[in-house]
């Protein structure tokens, strides 16, 4: 574990956490009626899409230095999309809004995040494979 790698992951994590906070401040309560779930849904879908694009590009031969992978995948996306926040929001929804709204939130989170991951992975792999060189 190098100091450069630790710095890259830390810098990415700081940026991801600040981005997550900014999204939560911008979105507010949204359709779920309490602060948290909509912002978590948005960052989980966006983060899954970004992770899919990164994975697809790398699978197709895109070369990304280890420090950049640490910055983006472990740091930024790790801090941006956290399952612990999802679990907390799910518990709060269950307590405050009931099981129907909780099921909607869980279903949207899982299905849309996975769809975003697989779609962006395929697109990135296709685009990188078509690059000259």
Q: What is the CA radius of gyration of the chain?
A: 17
- Tell me the pTM: 0.79
The pLDDT assigned to 85 comes to 74
Neighbouring CB atoms inside 10 A of 88's CB total 14
Which residues of the chain fall below pLDDT 70?
none
In degrees and rounded to multiples of 5, residue 63 shows phi and psi of: -100, 125
> If we measure between CA atoms, which residue out of 35, 44, 19, 22 comes closest to residue 110?
44
Where are the domains positioned within the chain? 3-130
Residue 57 near residue 125, CB atoms below 8 Å: yes
Separation between Cα atoms, residue 86 and residue 105, nearest integer Å: 10
Q: What is the dihedral of CA 49, 55, 60, 66, to 10 degrees?
A: 130
The label of the residue with tokens 């694009």 reads 53
The pLDDT assigned to 92 comes to 86
């Amino acid at each position: 574990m190098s100091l450069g790698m630790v710095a890259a992951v830390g810098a990415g994590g700081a940026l991801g956490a600040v981005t997550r906070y900014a999204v939560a401040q911008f979105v507010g309560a949204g359709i779920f009626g309490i602060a948290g779930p909509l912002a978590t849904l948005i960052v989980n879908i966006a983060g899954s899409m970004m992770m899919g694009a990164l994975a697809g590009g790398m699978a197709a031969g895109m070369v990304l230095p280890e420090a950049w992978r640490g910055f983006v995948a472990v740091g930024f996306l790790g801090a941006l999309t956290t399952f612990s926040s999802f679990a907390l929001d799910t518990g709060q929804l269950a307590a405050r809004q009931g099981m129907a709204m909780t099921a909607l939130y869980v279903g949207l989170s899982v299905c849309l995040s996975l769809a975003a991951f697989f779609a962006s992975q395929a697109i990135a792999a296709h685009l990188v494979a078509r690059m000259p060189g």
